[in-house]
Amino acid sequence: MVYYKLVFAVIFLPATILFYQLFPKKYRWSMLLLASIAFYSTFSVKRIVFPMAAAGIAWLAGILLEKLGERQTAAVKAVRTTDPSGNPREKDEIKKEKGKIREACQRKTRIVLTAGILALLSILLFMKYTDFFLENINVILKETGSGRQFALKNFLLPLGISFYTLQAIGYLADVYWKKVPAQHNPFRLLLFLLFFPTIIEGPITPYAHIRETLFAGETVDPDQVMKGYIRLGWGAMKKLVIADRLFPAVNVMYDMSGDPHGAQVAAAAICFTIMEYMDFSGCIDMACGCAQMFGIGLPENFRQPFLAKNASEFWRRWHISLGVWFKTYIFYPVSMSGLARKWGKFAKGRYSAHLTKMVISAMALLPVWLCNGLWHGPKWTYIFYGVFYFVVIMAELILEPFGDKLLARMKLTKENRFVSAVRILKTWIIIFAGELFFRADYLKDGFQMFGAMFRDFSLVRLFTEDLPSWGLDGLDWLIVGVAFAVVILVNLMREKGKDILEELLNLPLILRFALVLTLALTILIFGLYGPGYEEVDMIYAGF
C-alpha cells in the first residue's frame, strides 16, 4: 500500500482519521502508531522488527545519556565550597574539581553516544552493504587468482531503513547536545521513526521539529483534511501522470546496447532528472499532505531546485532534509573538530584566509559527500555521484573570488539577469551530468555515456529516429509536456513569493472540493495504472 493507491486514499486514510478522532486526546498518538504499524505491515510483517530495534536502541541510549547528564549536574552542584574545617576553598581549586567531574561524565556520555550510533549503523551496514563488500572482495580474489568466492546474501532491505536510521542517530545527537529531552516512552519513539507519512521516502525529520505536534493529539480540522487531500492529489499527479509515464522511455534511453549519440545521452539524462524530481517531490507532497490532515507539519524537502545558480545552492534546494542532516551531524562537527582548529591555528599568518578556509571546507565536505553517495546505495555509481559533487562544490568555492573579480571588471553583478541565466544553465549541466552517473547501472556505463555525449550530437536523429522508439506516442509526450509546464509555472510563482497552491488551499470550501475532484479526474484520465500497467516503485523508497 502506497500513498497514491486508491485503497490508501479512500479507505486507509479516512479510517485512520476517524479512529484518531474517536480516541481520547491523550492517546491519539497511539492510534497513529497502530496505523503506522498496519501501513508498514502491508510491505512486510517480519521486517517491522528492524525499526522496532532502532527505536529500542535509540530509547535506551537516550535514557542513559539523560541520566549521565543529570548525574553530572548533581555531582557539580555537590562540590563543596568549603574544606572539612569550614574554611572557604580557592576558586581555582573548585573550578578544577568541577572540570574533572564534567570531563569524566562527558567521557561516559561519548561512549554511550558512540555505542548507540554504532549499533544503529551496524544494522544499516549489515542489511544494505554486505553484498556490496562481498562483491568487491570477490573481484579482488578473482584478480589475485584465488579460487575462493563468497556467496552473496541477497538481503531484502527493510522499508525506510536509510531514513529512520538517520532520524534515530540525529535524535541521539540532539539528546547528547541537550537540544531535546530524552523520550521516556519507547512507543512514542517508535512512532517518531515509523510514522507512516515519512517511512517510505522521508522527509528526514528532526525530533525537535515534530515532537510537539506528533504527540499533541489535536482535534482533526476538516479544513486541514481538505488541504491535505489537495496536496496528496498534487503529489499523485506528479508521480502518476509525469514520472511513471516517462519511466519506460527512460529505461529504453539508458539501454545503450547500440552506439548512442550525444543528443540521445543528453535526452536520457534530462528525462531521468525530470522523472526523478517528479517522483521524489511528488512523494514528499503526498507525505506532507497526509501529515497535514492530523495537524502535523513536516519539513519541506524541495524549493525550486532547478533555479539554483550553483551546485551548493542546488543541494540547499534539493532533498533539503538530507542536506540539513549532513550539515548538522557531519559538516559542523568536522569543521569545528580539534583537527580543523589545529589547521586553522597552524595556517594563521602562513597562508591566505581563503586557502585556510578552503582546506577546512574540504576536510568537512569530503566525509559529507562520501556519506551522501553511500547513503543512496551500495553502488560505485552512487559513490562517484557523491565525489562528483564534492569536486564540483570545492571547485566553485575555490574559483568564486576569481569569478567575482571577473564580473567586477565587466561591471556586472551576480544579480544581473543575463549572469543569473548563465549561472542557472551552468548548474543544469552539472545536475544532468551528475544524474547521468546516478542512473547508470555501472560506473563504466556512466563514463561511456558521458563520452558519447560529445560525439555525433544530432537533434534530427533524436526526433526522427529515437523518440518514436522510446515507447511513448505523441499524446504521451503532450501530456507530459503540459503537466510538466504546470509544475514549472507553480514553482516559478513560488520563487517570486506567490504560492499558487497555498492560495488555492485558501479558497472557499466548495471551490476546494472542486479542485480535489479536478485533481482526481486528472489522475484518473491521464495517470498510468490499471490492467496491463507495470507499477513503478518510488525511486527513493529503494534507498
Q: What is the pLDDT of residues 31-74, one digit of tens each?
A: 999 999 999 999 999 999 999 999 999 999 999 999 999 998 89
Per-residue confidence (pLDDT) for residue 530, from 0 to 100: 54
Query: Which three cell numbers, joined as nine digits, stand for 264?
Result: 540521445
What band does 176 get if pLDDT is binned at 50, 70 and 90?
very high
The C-alpha cell 474517536 sits at 22
Per-residue confidence (pLDDT) for residue 280, from 0 to 100: 97
Percent of the chain with pLDDT strictly greater than 70: 98
The span from the CA of 171 to the CA of 205, in Å, is 10
Q: What is the pLDDT of residues 491-500, one digit of tens each?
A: 999 999 888 7
> Which residues have CB under 8 Å from 293's CB, separation 6+?
13, 17, 220, 224, 225, 228, 229
Per-residue confidence (pLDDT) for residue 258, from 0 to 100: 65
The span from the CA of 147 to the CA of 483, in Å, is 55
What band does 396 get if pLDDT is binned at 50, 70 and 90?
very high
pTM of the model: 0.94
What band does 306 get if pLDDT is binned at 50, 70 and 90?
very high
What band does 531 get if pLDDT is binned at 50, 70 and 90?
low
Per-residue confidence (pLDDT) for residue 539, from 0 to 100: 85
What band does 257 get if pLDDT is binned at 50, 70 and 90?
low
Position 532 pLDDT exceeds 60: no
Q: What is the pLDDT of residues 206-236, one digit of tens each?
A: 999 999 999 999 999 998 998 899 899 999 9
Domain ranges of the chain: 17-219, 221-307+459-543
Q: What is the pLDDT of residues 336-362, one digit of tens each?
A: 999 988 988 888 888 888 888 899 999
Q: Determine the average pLDDT of the residues in 279-306.
A: 97
Position 260 pLDDT exceeds 90: no
Q: Determine the average pLDDT of the residues in 192-205.
A: 97
Query: Which three cell numbers, joined as nine digits, stand for 135?
Result: 562483491
The span from the CA of 38 to the CA of 60, in Å, is 25
The span from the CA of 412 to the CA of 110, in Å, is 51
Would you report the helix, strand and coil content of the chain in percent, each value rounded to 5? 75, 0, 25
Helix axes 443-452, 380-409, angle to 10 degrees: 40
